[in-house]
């Protein structure tokens, strides 16, 4: 067991979540650090603490109750929290992140009980540098930041959006092993337009309409400059910004700081990785597909952009590649004659559509016979039986990805999709679903969740010292995920590895990301034989150390 010199003692030591061991402090440590009286007499081990925590969690009635309990554990003893996740990530990932995180964000003001991360509010904008200067933050390597305007499919949650950075960073650690003290969740509190929150006496954020326009842009600029000055080599992960801000922010700062937007790049990469895995079973290439995307927000456009780039990389001319996409938003099929389109939407808007203006999903599917159907609209049940059966009638192995979350917002359920296609569908969802039975066989439902991508991308960036995250690195991450697909070894296998293999997935994605960074010259040089050692430097294991008094 490793040893560590500690300066804190007594109440201050057990109050530090990164150092606290609870009942696992030894007799010698209790003597040395003045812990007698602060702890019950029993001396425990980490394994027994995990057993006790799991038993208690199993007795709670709802996922939300388990979420609250796990957050309490995290705030008091981070080693125990991550040992718990490591013991059964498949069971607890949906508790600390999607789908339970949605309810946690909605009720964040009611369940908040202890500081975690930073709230940078508009009224305190002149103090950002001072707040970031805390010496306790010196070793931060990864920041996840949100302004809470578009949380999952739930809309504006104000500072309740902080649940997302906390949850994302928990997965950076649980999946990729990035040490918790090197992560920092941040919420930019620029107000909220959620009238229910503004009227609530419980809301803990700044009760004001959202700051927008030039003032908002200046606030973001000030924040990025302050972060870059404080941590020149930081990975700045943007999360759950409204579509009108997400892509412009990423494009504005991605060449100035190592910036990453998971809604755009992560969703695109995990979707592309899933389709690449499906191609193993169908024998297709990306450029063979006709792709219909339901949802023209930042996620839908990001998915389309990445798949377009991959088609072009396969040798397809750009005009031909663009012709293989049909993007549908709330007003129907996107067409070039619509002046309200965003820049990203316009790249995929049709100018050759012969059907109804504003054609709905059913008409588009009936007309173009897609081979890939992606849902990123945030509205449940949009992939109806009629639509799916029509698609399956013209495609032997239809790829259907209902990615919206939480679970209630999924465009279709895997059970229905399997039934409507007589088991031929290649399906993966954005939220967890129970296994599906068909022809006497029970199969795990794959989850095209960004946790297959962003922890590994972050680990790869840290390992190689990348200064930028390029489109090529995102494509490499998608390919790295496909390389560990069970479909490579089993024609009847799942598309994605089980959640129990997330550490191996993260390392595979990290290696692919780092190699591409080297190829594009945006990182330090390294030899292939040294890459795993570079990665292992940033992989933290949840285990207790022996403390010596400093």
Q: Is 326 labeled as catalytic in the residue annotation? A: no
CA–CA dist 71, 428 (Å, integer): 28
Tell whether residue 239 is among the known ligand binding residues: yes
The tokens for 494 are 């799942």
Q: From start to end of 147-299, where are the E strands?
A: 183-189, 235-238, 258-261, 291-294
290-to-193, 370, 488, 528 alpha-carbon distances in Å: 38, 5, 23, 37
CA–CA dist 481, 168 (Å, integer): 19
- CA triplet 349, 354, 360: central angle to 5 degrees? 65
The tokens for 158 are 């104000």
Tell whether residue 492 is among the known ligand binding residues: no
Tell whether residue 449 is among the known ligand binding residues: yes
Give the active site residue among 92, 97, 172, 326: 97
Closest by alpha carbon to 270, among 247, 295, 294, 302?
302
Tell whether residue 42 is among the known ligand binding residues: no
Give the active site residue among 168, 253, 452, 547: 168
The position carrying tokens 């059907």 is 355
Output b/e per residue, 210-223; b: 16+ Cβ within 10 A.
bbeeeebeebbeeb
The tokens for 323 are 């012709």
Name the DSSP class of 347: T
Closest by alpha carbon to 289, among 326, 250, 253, 260?
326
Q: Is 229 labeled as catalytic in the residue annotation? A: no
Residue 347 and residue 296 in contact, taking contact as beta carbons nearer than 8 Å: no
CA–CA dist 525, 94 (Å, integer): 38
Q: From start to end of 28-110, where are the E strands?
A: none
Residue 515 and residue 522 in contact, taking contact as beta carbons nearer than 8 Å: no
Q: From start to end of 226-313, where are the E strands?
A: 235-238, 258-261, 291-294
Helices then strands, counting H and E runs in the chain, come out as 24, 16
Residue 250 and residue 238 in contact, taking contact as beta carbons nearer than 8 Å: yes
Q: From start to end of 504-549, where are the E strands?
A: 546-549
Tell whether residue 20 is among the known ligand binding residues: no
Q: Is 394 exposed, middle or buried (0-12, 13-18, 19+ CB in 10 A)?
A: middle
The position carrying tokens 């990001």 is 302
Tell whether residue 324 is among the known ligand binding residues: no
CA–CA dist 169, 267 (Å, integer): 16
Q: Is 36 helix (H, G, I), strand (E, B) or coil?
A: strand
Q: Is 227 exposed, middle or buried (0-12, 13-18, 19+ CB in 10 A)?
A: buried
Annotated binding site: 150, 239-240, 263, 405, 449
Annotated binding site for a divalent metal cation: 239-240, 263
Annotated binding site for (S)-malate: 150, 405, 449
| Residues annotated catalytic, as ranges | 97, 168
């Amino acid at each position: 067991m490793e040893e560590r010199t500690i300066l804190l003692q007594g109440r201050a030591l057990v109050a530090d979540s990164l150092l606290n061991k609870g009942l696992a402090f030894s007799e010698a440590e209790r003597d040395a650090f003045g812990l007698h009286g602060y702890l019950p007499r029993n001396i425990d081990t980490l394994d027994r603490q995990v057993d006790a925590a799991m038993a208690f969690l199993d007795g709670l009635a709802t996922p939300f109750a388990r979420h609250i309990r796990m957050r309490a554990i995290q705030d008091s003893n981070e080693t125990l929290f991550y040992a718990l996740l490591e013991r059964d990530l498949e069971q607890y990932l949906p508790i600390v992140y999607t789908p339970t995180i949605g309810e946690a964000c909605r009720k964040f003001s009611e369940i908040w009980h202890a500081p975690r991360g930073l709230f940078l509010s508009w009224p305190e904008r002149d103090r950002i540098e001072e707040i970031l200067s805390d010496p306790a933050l010196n070793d931060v390597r990864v920041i996840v930041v949100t302004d809470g305007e578009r949380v999952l499919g739930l809309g504006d949650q104000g500072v309740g959006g902080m649940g997302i950075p906390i949850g994302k960073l928990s997965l950076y650690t649980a999946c990729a092993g990035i040490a918790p003290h090197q992560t920092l969740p941040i919420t930019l509190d620029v107000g909220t337009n959620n009238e229910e929150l503004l009227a609530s006496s419980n809301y803990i954020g700044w009760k004001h309409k959202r700051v927008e326009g030039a003032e908002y842009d200046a606030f973001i600029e000030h924040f990025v400059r302050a972060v870059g000055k404080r941590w020149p080599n930081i990975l700045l992960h943007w999360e759950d910004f409204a579509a009108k801000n997400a892509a412009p922010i990423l494009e504005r700062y991605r060449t100035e700081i190592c910036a990453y937007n998971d809604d755009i790049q992560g969703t695109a990469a995990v979707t592309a990785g899933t389709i690449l895995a499906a191609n193993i079973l169908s024998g297709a290439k990306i450029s063979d597909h006709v792709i219909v995307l339901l949802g023209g927000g930042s996620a839908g456009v990001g998915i389309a952009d990445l798949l377009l780039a991959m088609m072009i990389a396969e040798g397809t001319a750009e005009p031909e590649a663009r012709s293989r996409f049909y993007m549908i938003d709330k007003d129907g099929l996107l067409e070039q004659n619509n002046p309200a389109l965003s820049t990203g939407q316009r790249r995929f808007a049709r100018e050759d559509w012969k059907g109804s203006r504003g054609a709905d999903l059913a008409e588009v599917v009936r007309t173009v016979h897609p081979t890939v159907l992606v849902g990123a609209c945030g509205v449940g049940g949009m992939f109806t039986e009629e639509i799916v059966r029509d698609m399956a009638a013209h495609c032997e192995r239809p790829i259907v990805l209902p990615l919206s979350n939480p679970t209630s917002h999924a465009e279709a359920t895997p059970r229905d999709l399997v039934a409507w296609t007589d088991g031929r569908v290649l399906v993966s969802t954005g939220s967890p679903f129970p296994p599906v039975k068909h022809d006497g066989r029970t199969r795990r439902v794959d989850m095209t969740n960004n946790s297959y991508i962003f922890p590994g991308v972050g680990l790869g960036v840290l390992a190689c010292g990348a200064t930028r995250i390029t489109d090529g690195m995102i494509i490499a991450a998608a390919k790295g995920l496909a390389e560990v697909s069970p479909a490579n070894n089993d024609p009847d296998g799942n598309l994605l590895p089980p959640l129990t293999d997330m550490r191996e997935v993260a390392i595979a994605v990290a290696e692919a990301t780092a190699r591409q960074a080297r190829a594009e010259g945006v990182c330090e040089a390294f030899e292939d034989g040294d890459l795993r050692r570079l990665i292992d430097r940033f992989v933290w294991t949840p285990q207790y150390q022996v403390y010596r008094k400093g």
